[in-house]
Amino acid sequence: MTFATTASPTHTNFKIRADILDLKSSLIQWRRDFHRFPELGFKEKRTANAIAEKLTAWGIPHQTGIAQTGIVATIAGTKKGGNKVLAIRADMDALPIQEENIISYKSQIDGLMHACGHDGHTAIALGTAKYLWEHRADFSGTVKIIFQPAEEGPGGAKPMIEAGVLENPKVDAVIGLHLWNNLPLGTVGVRSGALMAATEYFYCKIMERGGHGALPHQTIDSILVAAQVVNTIHSIVSRNVSPLESAVISIGEFHAGSATNIIADSAMISGTVRFFNPEVGAKLVLRLEEAIAGVCAAHGASYELDYTKLYPPVINDYAIAELVRSVAETVIETPAGIVPECQTMGGEDVSFFLEAVAGCYFFLGSANPDKGLAYPHHHPRFNFDETVLATGVEIFARCVEKFLG
C-alpha cells in the first residue's frame, strides 16, 4: 500500500495512498457531471442511472429503485476474519436555487443547483465503492454504500430504512460525511454526541374579523395579534431553556393584508424550531402553542397551528466517532486539523440512520478562500475545493479497514 503526500493551495498536507490519488481526475469528472445536471429529491433519475451504470461496469453488486431513486451497493471483503457490516451513506439531491457561479460545469437546469455539496458526496461514495471493490482483500465483512435521495426534503433516509437497507446483511454501524464550507480545507469536524439539530417547522394562521382601517374598533386585527405572537415566540428560548442548552426558534414568513386601508381578517406566520436535546424540544413545542393560544385569547382571536417534526437531531455514537477521529488524524497532517467544536443548528436526515444503528456523521472542511471557494451552503455561488474529494475517499477507506480489518 503506497501513500503520497499532496499539498493544497492553502499548504494543507494530506496523506493519501497512490491508488486513491489516481482516482482524483475521475472524482472531479463525476462530481462536475452531477453538478451540471442537478435533480430535486425523489427525482434523481439521471443521477441514479449514472451511478448504476458505473457500478455495473465495475461489477459491483447493487440494488436500484429503493425509496424511488435510492441505490445500495454491497461489497464483501475477502480477508479472513469477522463478518461485521459497515454502511456508508451519501445523499444525491440538489436544491431549487438558480446558480450564479461562472464555471465550465455550471448547472444546466434552470432554477436548480447543487448548492450544498451533495454532488461531491455522491462522487466520494462512488470513488470509495470503486476503491473498495478493487481492494476487497484489505478487509473482512461487508460494506454497504447507500446513495440516498431527498435529504433536502421531505427526507429519503427513513423510507430507505423502511425498505430494508440496514438488513440482509444487518448493518452494525454507519458513517457519513458532509463537505463543509464552514470549515477550511484540511480540517475534519468530528465529535461524539449531538452534532446537528432536530429540524421542525410550524405554520400558524391567525383569524378573526377584518374591516375598514378607519374603524379598528369594529375589528379584531389579525396583524396586531400575529405581531404580538411573533414577539412572544421570540422570548420562549431565552426564558424557558437553560443557557447551557442550545435551541432556536426563528420566524421565516409573515403574510397578511391586501390593501392600505383594510384591516386583514387573517395572518399567516411560519418558522422553524431547532434543538439538540429532545427534552428541550418537547418543552419548546408546548410553549409555542401556549404562547399562540394565550395571545389569541387575550385579543379574542382564533388560530390554526400545523406543527411538523421533520428530522430528529444527529447524535453520534462515541465509539464510532472515535474511530472516525482516529482515522482522520492519520489522513490530515495539519495542526489543529481535528475540530471537535463543530456543532450546528442545521439539520440532516442522516439522523434516522444514527437512530437505527450506532454511527458517526462528520464534517470534511472544504472551503478555500484563496480560490474564492468559501460561500456558505445554499448560496447561489456555493462551491468547494475539489481537492477534498480524494481526502473523503481516503477517510472512508481507512474507516472500513479499521472497522472491518
341 close to 25: Cβ distance less than 8 angstroms = no
Answer yes or no: are the C-beta atoms of 338 and 357 closer than 8 Å: no
Q: Phi, psi at residue 362, to the nearest 5°?
A: -135, 165
Catalytic residue among 93, 119, 349, 385: 93
| Residue 10 CB burial class (10 angstroms; 0-12, 13-18, ≥19) | middle
Which of 277, 77, 84 has its CA nearest to residue 197?
A: 277
Asked whether the beta carbons of 173 and 321 are under 8 A apart, the reply is no
Q: Which of 19, 39, 119, 151 is catalytic?
A: 151
Q: What residue type is 192 in one-letter code?
A: S
Grid coordinates given for 200: 421542525
Q: Is 151 a catalytic residue?
A: yes
Catalytic residues: 93, 151
